[in-house]
Amino acid sequence: MPEDLVQAALRASLARGVPVADVPVIAIAGEAGISRSTLMRRLGGTRHALDEAVRETGVDPGGKKPVRERAMEAAGALISKHGLAAVTLERVADSAQCSVHSLYAAFGGRDELLHAVYERYSPVLDVEAVLADPHQDLSHTVRQIYRLMTSALTREPRILPAMLADALSRPHDPAARSIYQHALPRMLNGVEQWLSDEATAGRIRKLPPLLLLQQMTGPLITHFLMRPAAHLTGTYLPTTEEAVEFFTQTFLRAVAHTPPPHQT
């Protein structure tokens, strides 16, 4: 694609204050100093190549979601169906209908893309918000964290289960190790610190922080990771809210100094 046409499209977009895809062809032609017919001839009869050339510069031409958004959705679908090993920049670019160069411009590399996908689909930001609120009581906080974890473990695409499976089954794989070392600790360390603070305040038993963390998260994660398989056996399954309440009460009765009464 001739550079002069790309720059003409960008100037016309800037002048009109709209995405390149919304700029009329006649306006781009005028900015390039040529006729509309000449422009279309140089474009091969379609403006698709021009939009792609604009995208190559790191500018989203419009008409589609931004490259970053499309790439995270594409990577998420690949992880959910095939695991972390399936996520190559080439496959993501093909699915997201962009170039590998655009992915580097948007993320910097594969690890950064995976970190962005994890942050988008994991409950990390919501859990941090819950833990930042100092006014909630212990049972309410536990219940809220469980609900957020349940949502992340059960919704489509199933990113968190796939990432956990890769981290556990292939801990030495570079992609799994990157997620495990960079992303998972962000949430788990926050919960671990909160549990330590609750123990220091005398609201729960003083146990090693890691054991408290495992006591809190292990049963719920195990249940929801195995839940899809349990469906196949015809085993009775409680509703997700019933499961959340059960695990909340079980955890509090195990570690809280004054367990709250059962809530219905």
pLDDT at 52: 82
pLDDT at 257: 84
CB 243 within 8 A of CB 150: yes
Q: Give the residue extent of every domain in the chain.
A: 3-56, 67-109, 122-255
Question: What does CATH list as the number for 67-109?
Answer: 1.10.10.60
Higher pLDDT, 229 or 134: 229
pLDDT at 25: 83
Q: Which CATH number fits domain 122-255: 1.20.1250.20, 1.10.357.10, 3.40.640.10, 1.10.3720.10?
A: 1.10.357.10
- pLDDT score of 221 more than 90: yes
pLDDT averaged over every residue in the chain:
85
Q: Is 67-109's fold the same as 122-255's?
A: no
CB 99 within 8 A of CB 58: no
Q: How far apart are CA 132 and CA 14, in angstroms?
A: 41
CB 78 within 8 A of CB 95: yes
CB 26 within 8 A of CB 36: yes
CB 215 within 8 A of CB 142: no
CB 95 within 8 A of CB 117: no
Is the pTM higher than 0.85? The answer reads: no
Q: Identify the band that residue 261 occupies on the pLDDT scale cut at 50, 70 and 90.
A: low
CB 67 within 8 A of CB 55: yes
pLDDT tens profile 53-89: 888 888 877 766 778 888 999 999 999 998 888 899 9
pLDDT tens profile 128-177: 888 887 667 899 999 999 999 999 899 888 888 888 888 778 777 776 77
pLDDT at 18: 75
Lookup: tokens for 246: 């059960």
Running DSSP on this structure, what letter comes out for residue 239?
Answer: -
